[in-house]
Chains A and B, each alone.
Chain A
Amino acid sequence: MNNSQTKSQFVAVASIAAELSAVMDVAKEISLAAANAKAIAFRAGEKAKGFQPITDFINELAKETIELVNDINEHALLLYQLTVNEYRTASAYNKLQEVNTLAVEARYSETLHPSLQHASEQNLECRKHFNQHVSLLLDQLGEVMHPARAARVIAANSRIEASQAGEYLQSLQAVAESVDHAAQIIHEKVQKCRSALNVINLSEAA
């Protein structure tokens, strides 16, 4: 692994962490919107009857997203540790090769070989681990897309239900809008995470 690859890997992992914490904020917003909607629907009574189960649904989706993002965060943290390990093993391996060149004339130069071997194996091991976790993370990011997509469908339904809620129309529509908007943002952020991960994969192939 060369220096610029390591750098881009660190940057990618850090930007994933940043996107994820933004997803988390948005998921929390959705859950707040759901609580709001529930209160409005309660006040609206009969007029917003169709709206009540929808608010529970939105709340479920927000919870699901938060849980998923928590899992993903753990993974991203692991990915960061693996990046640090890989950086350490790679620089150790490079340095040991340097020692090997410098020590050609040294009496015990041969005794370096097990360490070199070990460092190279460790580095490969780290890389393998890293790649495994990148593909796991990609799967998990795919899963986050599901509740976000479902939220958009529900938002569309909410609009229809809201239209029958008389004087509550506007506030319920606002709820539907904000859920839709939040779901869109999650979608975007998750896409960004995925393309950051793809940058890592690309740099590895290079």
Chain B
Amino acid sequence: MQMTKIYEGAYQWIMFARDPNKPEKIIDTNQYVVRTGKRCLLLDPGGVELFAPMLAAVLHHAPVEEITDLFASHQDPDIISSLGLWDQALPHAKLHAPELWEGFLRHFGCETIEYVGIPDNGGVIQLDSVELKLIPAHYLHSSANFNVYDPEAKILMSGDIGAALEESGTPMFVDDFDAHVEKMRFFHQRWMPSNQAKRVWIERVRELDIDIMAPQHGRIFKGDDVKKFLDWFEALQVGIAV
């Protein structure tokens, strides 16, 4: 598992990705970790296959008892099918996930972890003195879906929005936006169902001050590429399969 620090201040954001031992047929995912003084939050911690490499990687940064929070942007298996295993490994942690998905996500096993449901209009995760905002991104692609925004680090963890399907072992950052577009087009057109939801989300996100947009698949957008992404997405017709 490769680890890349994407923010370093009074606390850190670390990206975990490009696991070389990932079975070939499962989609590559990016996991993110926010590490403060005494706590540690895992964002979209991943599927069952990723649990062991992921926890082993996190142990470079935090002891088990300080992994206090998990966040699941939505219900997909590549996001959180590892829940049953975290449930055994972290008996005192909280899972922040859409309220709407609670009855479904519990199928993965959530006996000891506390399920903290995120209401439709969003909320916050307080991690020591860091306040992370949960931004609604419903229907992009999941019917109850959230992004995580950190106003201090100016990072938007955008889940499946901005995802690209690429060969394994690609770079962590977008270097040529125009070339990157082709790796995103089908994913967004086919998985995202609603042009209206897309418009509302873009409006909401344009209000935020963002340096880094970090999706759950593919590469991270920096600086001007964030704006370019929003413009490209705005012009894109989604929900094409009907």
Partners in one complex: yes
Seed contacts A108-B59, A109-B59, A115-B64; 16 additional CB < 8 Å A-B pairs: A93-B88, A95-B51, A95-B52, A96-B88, A96-B89, A99-B51, A99-B52, A103-B55, A106-B57, A106-B60, A107-B61, A108-B61, A111-B63, A111-B65, A114-B64, A122-B88
Complex: how many Å from CA A114 to CA B85? 15
Given A109-B59, A111-B65, A115-B90, A92 and B52 contact (CB-CB distance below 8 Å)? no
CB-based closest 8 A-B pairs? A92-B88, A102-B56, A111-B63, A106-B59, A103-B56, A108-B63, A98-B52, A111-B64
Asked if A69 is at the interface (CB within 8 A of a chain B CB), the reply is: no
Beta-carbon nearest neighbor of B64 in chain A: A111
The interface residues of chain A lying within 8 Å CB-to-CB of B53 are 102
Asked if A89 is at the interface (CB within 8 A of a chain B CB), the reply is: yes
The interface residues of chain B lying within 8 Å CB-to-CB of A107 are 59-61
The interface residues of chain A lying within 8 Å CB-to-CB of B88 are 88-89, 92-93, 96, 115, 118-119, 122
Given A92-B84, A92-B89, A106 and B64 contact (CB-CB distance below 8 Å)? no
Main secondary structure of the interface of B (DSSP, over half): helix
Q: Is the CB of A106 within 8 A of B56?
A: yes
The interface residues of chain A lying within 8 Å CB-to-CB of B89 are 92, 96, 99, 115, 119
The interface residues of chain A lying within 8 Å CB-to-CB of B151 are none
Instruction: Name the residue in B53, B63, B90 with the highest tally of chain A Cβ atoms < 10 Å from its Cβ.
Output: B63
Beta-carbon nearest neighbor of A91 in chain B: B85
Asked if B91 is at the interface (CB within 8 A of a chain A CB), the reply is: yes
Complex: how many Å from CA A118 to CA B62? 19
Find residues 2-36 in chain A having any chain B CB closer than 8 Å to their own CB.
none
Asked if A150 is at the interface (CB within 8 A of a chain B CB), the reply is: no
The interface residues of chain A lying within 8 Å CB-to-CB of B84 are 88, 91-92
